[in-house]
Amino acid sequence: MTTLISPSVARLILVYLLALGAVRGLAQDRLKGMLGYQRYERMSRERTNAVKFGTVSVIWKDEGKVFEYQKEGKRYRYDIDSGTSTILTNTSAKAATDRTNNRPVRASAPARGRQHTSALSPDGRYKTIYRDRNLWLSETNGTNEIAVTRDGSEKPRIKYGTANWVYGEELYQSTAMWWSSNSQKIGFYRFDESRVPDFYLQLDQTKLMSKMDIEPYMKAGGTNPVVDIWIYDVQSSNTVHVDVRDGKPFDDDVLGHYIYGVSWSQDSKELLFHRTNRRQNIMEFCAADADTGKCRVIIREEWLPSWVANSPRMRFLKDGKRFISASERSGWNNLYLYDLSGELLATLTDHRFEVDSVVHVNEDARLVYYMARSGDNPLKLQLHCVRLDGTRDQRLTNPAYHHTVDMAPDGMHFIDVAQTHDIPPVTRLMNAQGNPVAELAWSDLTKFKRLEMRPVELITFKAADRETDLHGLLHFPSRFNPSKKYPLLVSVYAGPDSEGVRETFAMPSGLTEYGFLVASFDSRSVTGHGKYLLDSVYLKLGQAEIDDQAAGVKSLWDRRYVDRKRVGIYGTSYGGTASALCLMRYPDVFRAACASSPVTDFRNYDTIYTELYMWLPQENKEGYDDAALMSHIKDLKGRLMLYYGTADNNVHPNNAMQLIRALQRAGKSFE
């Protein structure tokens, strides 16, 4: 359905085509007639090298005494002891077996939502294979193949050595077979999907004959698969069932509904895994006896106000018994030292700001190096160091900048890339105490300034609750004239625990050259501001984060060069949902929206993601109804453009079809 539209809104919509990566030919005839087209085309060529970025990545050698890096087409070798840098004459491509940051190059990942179909034993002797819904074992050369399981079948839907697509998508489970470190045992999934309805996705719609992609897919409030783990002993050929539910029968509400994050203990005596209840407000890190399958709980995390992070970051020490685990139990993400008995050995950090990740552990010096949001705003990550007993915590980097750190294997030095949204990166070699040793690369803005490009502006505004400070970025066109009025485009995602604004150097959006201002705003759904702020979206997606996008736009209304009557918004996936909701719920703020692959009703989305934030639609009908785009169609006044993928196996086409049907029934025009 199409309608006649005003020239100003037409420009917004046409630019959306370009912004969302649509096929250029579809709109090229109209784009050429747009004001600013010629300048956009010229600046697109010029801006590709407008900044010479001072960012280099290194390959550590000799346990951290030497590193190699590439800059301006030349390869260098830097010797830390002598402080000298030499140009390497052999710059041929590295072999695939080269190591980057002391890690071998890994095999390619499986397709989205899928798991690897084979696994090699650590000693290289055996290989397990997923085939015909069963698990097979053979010698690495393919001889002496045996069926470890035999009852995998299409009806009933039973499979071994693989997982459901949603497990791969939401729990990042790319493996489903796990060898013990001594190569004697193999743990593997068993999925019973017989009660999970199939979803039918039509593929190849541009061909003469299409085909179907059929996947058991658990939608919010629907039935989940029954998940189990088994352990096979290579020598005895015995198979042990891991008691993941502590002897309880499967039920959607019992602890152990989701089983994931599987690995072996270093001594091969126990299989380790995480499990959560369906509501995902209780998470347990467990260990199963490899001989009996009996399970015990190592750590129990519980956050009854909303949800628990179901995949906490963990790092084992060399002894294979002690490990560092992240937890939000204090309301802020912090680090704790445990051993596999479940004893808390030390509270490593106790900050009222977020710890992000562990980057290095120097066990000889008993030091842990980690990144945290302790800069002069929460967007700026800093390197910290703390002793393994939780004492002498100190920040090692300048809080005025955002830092990306690469620690040497020996822990004596690190590479630091420092930057902000408007200060381009500089790369330095630092010692372990945070003192500079050498400057390796720096940025050059000469051409950036010659092109009259303007740095992106970081803004601070109050959320819709009028209490929370949030951030946004505002992009300006080159040759910006503050006496003119510019229409505003807002780029949005805004999903829970996401990041819309970063303190990495930002080139002004190319869309500004058409004569737009471009902005992005964080919402109270933003990551890095603590668990209590995130809880503000619990059971009510589509409310606080949408209110905050409108608040961000309104914070610019007092700027004379912002044309408050011409504001458009665009985004993809959750950003598509947010775009359409902003247009419908705030018609006084937004005049046009482009929603790409929007989830139009969260009942259409999977159990693991949706119920984490919204619980069951049967018990939160009001929350689901309010988040559904169809509930707000009556308020639609501006111009709406929709994109969706006919072969999208994540945000299914049903989402767009349901919205299109509702728009047509309401007599609302859309593109």
pLDDT in tens, 430-463: 999 999 999 999 999 999 999 999 999 999 999 9
Q: Which of 98-102, 304-308, 493-497, 540-544 has the lowest mean pLDDT?
A: 98-102
CA–CA distance, 290 with 294 (Å, rounded to integer): 8
3-state SS assignment for residue 90: coil
Whether residue 296 has pLDDT greater than 80: yes
Residue 26: pLDDT band with limits 50, 70, 90: very low
Q: What token pair was written down for 112?
A: 């989205």
Residue-wise pLDDT for 168-217, tens only, equals 999 999 999 999 999 999 999 999 999 999 999 999 999 999 999 999 99
Residue 107: pLDDT band with limits 50, 70, 90: low
Whether residue 292 has pLDDT greater than 70: yes
Burial 615-627 (b: 16+ CB within 10 A, else e): bbbeebeebbebb
Ramachandran quadrant class, 172 (left: phi over 0; alpha: psi -120 to 50; beta: rest)? left
Q: What token pair was written down for 285?
A: 């890190």
Mean pLDDT of 469-473: 98
Confidence (pLDDT) at 208: 97
518: phi then psi, degrees, rounded to nearest 5: -125, 135
Whether residue 607 has pLDDT greater than 70: yes
Whether residue 152 has pLDDT greater than 60: yes
Confidence (pLDDT) at 20: 40
Whether residue 29 has pLDDT greater than 90: no
Confidence (pLDDT) at 250: 83
266: phi then psi, degrees, rounded to nearest 5: -60, -30
Whether residue 145 has pLDDT greater than 70: yes
Whether residue 230 has pLDDT greater than 60: yes
Residue-wise pLDDT for 539-590, tens only, equals 999 999 999 999 999 999 999 999 999 999 999 999 999 999 999 999 999 9
Mean pLDDT of 19-24: 41
238: phi then psi, degrees, rounded to nearest 5: -85, 145
Mean pLDDT of 109-127: 96
**Partners of 324 in the beta sheet?**
315, 337
Confidence (pLDDT) at 100: 42
Q: Which of 50-64, 84-98, 106-120, 347-361 has the lowest mean pLDDT?
A: 84-98
Mean pLDDT (the chain) is: 92
Residue-wise pLDDT for 486-508, tens only, equals 999 999 999 999 998 999 999 99
Beta strand 592-596 with 639-643 is parallel
User: Which residue, 261, 306, 269, is CA-closest to 290?
Assistant: 269
Residue-wise pLDDT for 639-653, tens only, equals 999 999 999 999 999
Residue 253: pLDDT band with limits 50, 70, 90: low
Question: What is the CATH number assigned to the segment(s) 456-665?
Answer: 3.40.50.1820
Confidence (pLDDT) at 17: 42
Domains of the chain, by residue range, sit at 117-311, 456-665
Helix axes of 544-554 and 574-585: crossing angle, nearest 10 degrees: 70
The CA distances from residue 665 to 580, 601, 633, 659, 660, in Å, are: 17, 17, 10, 10, 9
Report the 10 Å Cβ neighbour count for 423: 16
Mean pLDDT of 369-388: 98
What's the pTM value of the predicted model, to 2 decimals? 0.92
Evaluate whether 439 touches 56 at the Cβ level (below 8 Å): no
The CA distances from residue 642 to 194, 434, 502, 639, in Å, are: 35, 50, 27, 10
Say which amino acid occupies 643.
Answer: Y
| Residues 6+ positions from 480 with CB-CB distance below 8 Å | 454, 561
Confidence (pLDDT) at 500: 87
CA–CA distance, 151 with 144 (Å, rounded to integer): 20
Q: Tell me the percentage of the chain whose pLDDT exceeds 90.
A: 87
Q: What token pair was written down for 438?
A: 């050498």
Say which amino acid occupies 372.
Answer: A
Say which amino acid occupies 668.
Answer: K
Whether residue 54 has pLDDT greater than 70: yes
The answer, yes or no, to whether the previous bond of 156 is cis (omega within 30 of 0) is yes
- In terms of Cβ atoms closer than 10 Å to its own Cβ (0-12, 13-18, 19+), residue 628 is buried
Q: Tell me the percentage of the chain whose pLDDT exceeds 70.
A: 92
Question: What is the CATH number assigned to the segment(s) 117-311?
Answer: 2.140.10.30
Confidence (pLDDT) at 311: 86
Confidence (pLDDT) at 90: 66
